[in-house]
Structure 1
């Protein structure tokens, strides 16, 4: 990672908050009681504490912390990237899968538990800037849907810097978020009633001494960063390429027509390049076969690539769309 702040690594996050140890449980419960204070958490168990080198090397593997008790399922993850429609839909899709996984064949919907999805993200929702926000099903009168199953809570890490600039002394929870976002708590005053900052620093120092683990995290982060960066600029790239091509064509057949044709061509080329990049990053296979796809097939591809699907099945579905 370029900034060398591993506090925002999903690997460090899972190792710190997602294990069945007394320290990990204390840190985890400290986060939860500050984020969802009305939800009973004392009897929560972590369903997926495992973290192997193979899991880290699977670049698209979601290293979340999945907890459950008799009433709730809670899923928590660190997302070291910027908010986008693409990323938000991934969160929504994943939460739907987690709800679906609760039922086995023959089970009724009465067995479903409410899912609370908590996402720590290095971005701010500019529509309504704040440290935390929650989203759930409700109507235009702000009344919750009866029996709603899913709530997503975002913790916008960068916003803590604004809080720190306005408050003389941060709460212990705010200080912990500040530590995650900035990699240190230098220059700020904060409460420390439960020793969470010291505990986090201790975990962090142990983590960075494991050079092999750090190398794995660096490799994982670079692929994730490359993919996010590409996806964020793909539309702008397509528009720019289209306009440049359009200007050249416009000199010959008329500016208006050239811009229109160039924009369409640029969007088409941008869509193809994005599809190839997505395919090769997810499956580590050559994506040249996508050059033979129609625009309709590429549109279908953009939906399938976000799902949990094998490369052979994806390719078969795309190719069968022709017939």
Structure 2
């Protein structure tokens, strides 16, 4: 039986395909869109740090000033163990920068984590929920090195109800497609660069039988 066309950007394989190639202008556009609008960090260039063997899971990039950004899509329930893993990922990225014989300030750059989750924290009803180390008065720790931003995908549907797709920003449209795929309403938007890119990447992905096979295996947890 012929498999249906892939359309779920929450799938690790398709999500990676959207962002993974920093030599692809469309991937670079999407990477900078997420970094600049979720973290409020301007960047001219992004360099993907993943090796070819790291096909699935997070996408690690470095920007002009040396900061490292880890972008992760969680398409499963966010358990206590999952939160621990995310903490560990951030610490591992810090430790991996340490070079023997050099001062930490010479080699260690701040870590930013962008984590897309398909749930909403009922205590934090917002699209982007960002955390940094702070004291009991809410003062951010000086020289803190890890910032973690959760993008709560289901909340984008609340924004759509409030303003409609035509009034949504490019970052909101990108998050809407991550949550809902390319639907008829998205197809009707012809002036959005984000929509054009994500439709193009989806079409190219579906033309690759190997990628589609990986997509369905990943969805069935066969990896």
- Calculate the TM-score normalised by the size of structure 1: 0.61
Asked if 1:124 is matched to 2:138, the reply is: no
Q: State the 1:7 CA deviation.
A: 1.1
- Cα distance in 2 between the residues matched to 1:7 and 1:31: 14
**Residues 153-168 of structure 1 mapped to structure 2, 5 A cutoff:** 153-168=149-164
1:79–1:129 distance in 2 versus 1, CA, 3 Å: same
Give the equivalent residue in structure 1 for 2:12.
Answer: 10
Q: Is the 8 A contact 2:48 2:60 kept in 1?
A: yes
Give the equivalent residue in structure 2 for 1:176.
Answer: 174
Q: State the 1:70 CA deviation.
A: 3.0
- Count of equivalent residues: 217
1:183-228 per-residue CA deviation (whole Å, 9 max, x = no partner) reads: 124347998765111111110011022122111122123227xxxx
Q: Is the 8 A contact 2:60 2:68 kept in 1?
A: no
1:208–1:51 distance in 2 versus 1, CA, 3 Å: farther
User: Equivalent residue of 1:223, what SS?
Assistant: coil
Give the equivalent residue in structure 1 for 2:88.
Answer: 93
User: Equivalent residue of 1:65, what SS?
Assistant: strand
More relative contact order in 1 or in 2 (CA 8 Å, sep 6+)? 2
Asked if 1:110 is matched to 2:108, the reply is: no
Give the equivalent residue in structure 2 for 1:137.
Answer: 133
1:135–1:14 distance in 2 versus 1, CA, 3 Å: same
- Cα distance in 1 between the residues matched to 2:84 and 2:10: 21
User: Equivalent residue of 2:143, what SS?
Assistant: coil
Structure 2 stretches lacking a partner, 5+ long: none
- Cα distance in 1 between the residues matched to 2:214 and 2:193: 29
Q: Is the 8 A contact 1:113 1:149 kept in 2?
A: yes
Give the equivalent residue in structure 1 for 2:32.
Answer: 29
More strand by share: 2
Q: State the 1:134 CA deviation.
A: 0.5
- Cα distance in 2 between the residues matched to 1:67 and 1:101: 14
- Cα distance in 1 between the residues matched to 2:200 and 2:97: 36
Q: State the 1:71 CA deviation.
A: 4.1
- Cα distance in 1 between the residues matched to 2:123 and 2:79: 13
Q: State the 1:153 CA deviation.
A: 0.5
1:223-270 per-residue CA deviation (whole Å, 9 max, x = no partner) reads: 27xxxxxxxxxxxxxxxxxxxxxxxxxxxxxxxxxxxxxxxxxxxxxx
1:151-197 per-residue CA deviation (whole Å, 9 max, x = no partner) reads: 00011111101111121322222111111111124347998765111
State which structure, 1 or 2, has the greater radius of gyration over its C-alpha atoms. Answer: 1
Q: State the 1:102 CA deviation.
A: 0.8
Give the equivalent residue in structure 2 for 1:213.
Answer: 211
More helix by share: 1
User: Equivalent residue of 2:137, what SS?
Assistant: coil
Q: Is the 8 A contact 1:14 1:65 kept in 2?
A: no
Q: Is the 8 A contact 2:6 2:212 kept in 1?
A: no
Q: Is the 8 A contact 2:13 2:218 kept in 1?
A: no
- Cα distance in 2 between the residues matched to 1:171 and 1:191: 12
- Cα distance in 2 between the residues matched to 1:126 and 1:2: 34
